[in-house]
Amino acid sequence: MAIIGIDLGTTNSACGVLTEDGVKLIPNRLGEALTPSVVGLDDTGKLVVGKTAKERLINHSDTTVAAFKRLMGTDHQVKLGRQQFTATELSALVLRSLKEDAEAFLGEEVSEAVISVPAYFNDNQRQATKLAGELAGLKVERLINEPTAAAIAYGLHDKREGNFLVLDLGGGTFDVSILEFFDGIMEVHASAGDNYLGGEDFVEAMIDSVLEELQLKKSSLKPRELQNLYMQLETTKRRISQQAEQLLKLNLGGRALEWKATPEWFEKLSTPLLLRAKRPIERTMRDADLPPAKIDEVVLVGGSTRLALFRSMVGRMFGRLPSCHLDPDTVVAMGAAIQAGLKEKNSALDDIVLTDVCPYTLGTGIVNEDSPQLGNYFLPIIERNTVVPVSIVRSVCTARDDQEEVCIDVYQGENRLVKKNVYLGELTVPVPKKPRGEEVVEVRYSYDMNGLLEVDVTVVSTGKTFNKLVEFTPGALNEQDKAQALEKLAKLKFHPREDEENRALLARGERLYEASLGEQRDYIAKLLASFDRVLDKQNLVEIGKARAELTEIFDKLDGEDWI
């Protein structure tokens, strides 16, 4: 039974499957690779999905909805006729349509999929995506970040090694990732993005500009007029770089109007959006500590990267033309299909290993004694762009005399104040009464590649451990999926200092220290102290590199006559 890869996009969705002959994009019932992410009701009240629904956006805007991916992870309800739907339910309808198309194409039942998500999706949005898959009848054990999927498609398509900067500008989200492909390993170094920046925003800016010039307000327009304006300007956006000007004939507020759209006009209103796009690019470069010269290829993904202004901006930033020889609309689906083949143990992918990173910092709140009126401070536990899966522990102590319990609240974000970050959940544990600061609890966060976070809190004085799986959207995973994920996380729950290789290396260092004297002894002591500091950071990638370097030094010392 094949596992399919799905790109669940804001504007369009697509799916594929890995065969012995490579990735095959699965055509929908209309024979097209792209299925519009649009859901509506027909005249009889039945649900329609895809191109049929998209064609009804203008004349039936009250019973048709698009761009609902931006609402994933929220409780927002969308009204279609007399019915109410969440973004998760609407996404499930699109996924179900893709599932049916895949079954028709493959001639067999499809019950499992790998689904792509924006790299900058938070935990709530990821869980909502998994739930959408479940509602569509798909088992979703693996989510893959869209830029990672695109890089896999490019790296395996060309069989080239190097550093890839992936810029994924779709209809509603913008993702940036730096990945390295080497020796069959696809490793993510850093990710950033903007969940509210995409092609839709360029069209919105055009709409606002036109209505401002014509002295009209959105609220004064009929839904059909506004939708028609949107469709016309969407077409204008795609043609703007190829024509000196376009004359639009509009019907707004009951009046027939004309509007001239020029490249200069579009560039002016696009400038603020392009500046927004530059920020996550620069942040990712800083986080990865890579200068532009170290980037081997800049890869464009997403239909909105076809904008000439965007490509020009990227070209100026990196001094070269970006790569876009794979279809930006389908490259994520191709990468998701490859990842699905990897999960299915496809023979062509035996040597491929994929690593990913946590896109947001995960932490807890601690008492703010400096300015209590501002609220608690944010204590980072797993910092953004840490390679996952990962398990890290931090210690906190009681803040009051005779405190009877400690509440470990879980937040996601980058602000120093917890109230400005995303709340995910909490775990309250009892502690013995003692003077302030004497009772210590160890807080461990374990995070996997699907964005599943488990929190363990151990009261040091009693040795009791309390556990919670942070799942902000109940029901997103069935019990079997949870058990499997928890089993994987359980393997991570050790301090790297306790790893057998690290213990052996530390013991070897102690032996060398005891056998040496003078400057050599001081040198070895400094090496061991440096390795201790790396172990305390609990970053498995850094530990691996430090262990390899220290092993090489010890090998040389072991071969010297003074031992």
Task: Please write the tens of the pLDDT for every residue from 23-57.
Answer: 999 999 888 999 999 998 887 777 888 888 888 88
Output the domain CATH number for residue 438. Answer: 2.60.34.10
The last residue of a domain, from among 227, 244, 269: 269
Q: Which residues contact 492 (CB under 8 A, 6 or more apart)?
A: 389, 390, 391, 446
The 8-class DSSP code of residue 220 comes to G
Tokens for 196, please give them: 């509210």
Question: Which one of 54, 69, 99, 343 is the catalytic residue?
Answer: 69
**What per-residue confidence (pLDDT) applies to 276?**
94
Q: Does residue 294 register a pLDDT over 60?
A: yes
Alpha-carbon span 271 to 250, nearest angstrom: 25
Q: Does residue 353 register a pLDDT over 70?
A: no
Mean pLDDT in residue range 262-268? 92
Whether residue 119 contacts residue 148, with contact meaning beta carbons closer than 8 Å, is answered with yes
Stronger pLDDT, 334 or 342, i.e. the higher one: 334
What order of strands is seen across the sheet that includes strand 174-182? 297-301, 162-169, 174-182, 185-194, 353-354
- Say which residue the tokens 């796009």 belong to: 277
188 and 52 housed in the same domain: yes
Cα separation values, 327 from 30, 300, 488, Å: 19, 9, 35
The last residue of a domain, from among 316, 341, 356: 356
Q: Which residues contact 525 (CB under 8 A, 6 or more apart)?
A: 513
449 and 462 housed in the same domain: yes
Identify whether 423 is part of a domain.
yes
Tokens for 182, please give them: 């080497």
Identify whether 553 is part of a domain.
yes
Query: Mind listing the pLDDT tens digit for each residue in 469-485?
Result: 876 444 344 566 556 64
Active site residue 69: yes
The last residue of a domain, from among 246, 269, 292: 269
Query: Mind listing the pLDDT tens digit for each residue in 205-219?
Result: 999 999 998 888 888
Stronger pLDDT, 231 or 1, i.e. the higher one: 231
Q: Residue 517 half-sphere exposure, CB side, CA atoms within 13 Å?
A: 1
* Most confident of the following: 238-247, 362-371, 473-482: 362-371
Identify whether 563 is part of a domain.
no
- State the first-to-last Cα distance of the chain, in angstroms, to the nearest integer: 60
Active site residue 356: no
Instruction: Dump the DSSP string for 488-536.
Output: HHHTT-S-GGGSHHHHHHHHHHHHHHHH--HHHHHHHHHHHHHHHHHHH
**What per-residue confidence (pLDDT) applies to 562?**
39
- Flag whether the pTM goes above 0.85: no
In 8-129, the DSSP E strands lie at: 12-19, 22-25, 35-36, 38-41, 47-49, 64-66, 77-80, 83-86, 112-117
Alpha-carbon span 68 to 75, nearest angstrom: 12
Positive or negative: CA dihedral 557, 558, 559, 563 = positive
Nearest Cα residue to 5 out of 154, 50, 478, 13: 13
Mean pLDDT in residue range 62-68? 88
Angle at 128 between CA 74 and CA 104, to 5 degrees: 130
Q: Does residue 415 register a pLDDT over 70?
A: yes
177 and 66 housed in the same domain: yes
- Residue 223: in which H helix or E strand, if any? helix 223-239
Which of left, alpha, beta for 45 (phi over 0: left; psi -120 to 50: alpha)? left
Confidence class of residue 235 from pLDDT cuts 50, 70 and 90? confident
Cα separation values, 447 from 140, 201, 407, 444, Å: 17, 33, 20, 10
Question: Which one of 146, 383, 439, 456 is the catalytic residue?
Answer: 146
Active site residue 175: no
Mean pLDDT lowest among 78-82, 231-235, 376-380, 381-385: 78-82
Whether residue 230 contacts residue 203, with contact meaning beta carbons closer than 8 Å, is answered with yes
Alpha-carbon span 151 to 356, nearest angstrom: 12
Mean pLDDT in residue range 401-429? 90
Q: What is the mean pLDDT of the chain?
A: 84
Total structural domains in the chain?
Answer: 4
349 and 367 housed in the same domain: no
Pairing between β-strand 297-301 and β-strand 174-182 as defined by DSSP bridges: unpaired
Domain range for residue 104? 4-197+271-356
290 and 438 housed in the same domain: no
Whether residue 78 contacts residue 68, with contact meaning beta carbons closer than 8 Å, is answered with yes
418 and 345 housed in the same domain: no
Q: Does residue 492 register a pLDDT over 50?
A: no
In 170-296, the DSSP E strands lie at: 174-182, 185-194, 246-252, 255-261
170 and 313 housed in the same domain: yes
Output the domain CATH number for residue 232. Answer: 3.90.640.10
324 and 398 housed in the same domain: no
Identify whether 488 is part of a domain.
yes
Alpha-carbon span 459 to 430, nearest angstrom: 8
382 and 471 housed in the same domain: yes
Question: Which one of 101, 123, 134, 168 is the catalytic residue?
Answer: 168
For 467-483, letters b (16+ CB in 10 Å) and e give ebebbbbeebbeeebee
Alpha-carbon span 344 to 338, nearest angstrom: 10
The 8-class DSSP code of residue 61 comes to G
468 and 322 housed in the same domain: no
Nearest Cα residue to 25 out of 96, 117, 1, 33: 33
Tokens for 62, please give them: 């009250």
Confidence class of residue 488 from pLDDT cuts 50, 70 and 90? very low
Question: How many Cβ atoms sit within 10 Å of the Cβ of residue 461?
Answer: 12
